[in-house]
Amino acid sequence: MEGKKEKTGNIPKYEQIAADIAYQIVEGTYKEGEKIYARSSIGSRYNVSSETARRAVCVLADWDIVEVEKNSGVIITSILNAKNFLSQHQQTQSIYSLKSKIMDSVERQKQENKELQKHLTELIEQIECYRATNPFIPHELIISEETPYLNKSIAEVNFWQETFATVIAIKRNGNIIMSPGPKAVFRLNDIFYYTGNEDCYRRVQEFMYPKI
């Protein structure tokens, strides 16, 4: 489209053309005072629009590398200025390249963050599903002086009826008592291991340590 930047990569196409012509000047393909192209010839040579060719010539003219003669052509005026232009062009290329790499890295990071969020969501869902379908994941209950049921048995306090939790083990003085049964007593510093549904933990805590 006329008037729109034509680009290859990140550097505008017209600037690439200007750099290519400047490079040929520095390399000696063209000499100072030599007439090279008319703008129409540049467009045909590089297969670009006349507007892009005009912009390329304007860049060279702005750097005093060439002089544009009306109805004639483009005259080379300074090899030194061509060298200076190429030096800046190389720096511009480096900046564009670095910018492109940074943007690519940012985009990759965005995608990785999306993937991480997706995996975390799946993990949480699977953990919740696992807990809901596997009631045998044990919870811990530490017996302290704050419970009103200290030194009472499981049966005495109707533990199962009140909480729907099943005691599967007790840790007492470093020893594990498996399947203790309803006669097991809540002793100070005991750790009771029990299982139940997903609401079991809350019911046990509220039963064993009721708020006053």
Structure tokens at 39: 């703008």
Structure tokens at 63: 């750097």
- How deeply is 31 buried, as exposed, middle or buried, from its count of CB atoms within 10 A (0-12, 13-18, 19+)? exposed
In this structure, what are the phi and psi dihedrals at residue 15, rounded to the nearest 5 degrees?
A: -75, -35
Pairing type for strands 73-76 and 66-69 reads: antiparallel
DSSP assignment of 69-124, as one string?
A: ETTTEEEE--HHHHHHHHHHHHHHHHHHHHHHHHHHHHHHHHHHHHHHHHHHHHHH
CB 207 within 8 Å of CB 200: no
Burial 197-207 (b: 16+ CB within 10 A, else e): eeebbeebeeb
pLDDT value of position 131 = 59
Question: pLDDT tens track of the chain, all 212 residues?
Answer: 333 434 444 678 888 888 888 898 888 888 888 888 776 788 888 888 888 888 988 988 999 988 887 766 888 889 899 888 888 887 777 767 777 778 878 888 888 888 877 877 777 677 666 656 665 678 899 999 999 999 999 999 999 999 999 999 999 998 999 989 999 999 999 999 998 887 889 999 999 999 85
Q: Which domains does the chain carry? A: 13-85 (1.10.10.10), 139-208 (3.30.70.1450)
Structure tokens at 101: 């790499």
pLDDT value of position 189 = 96
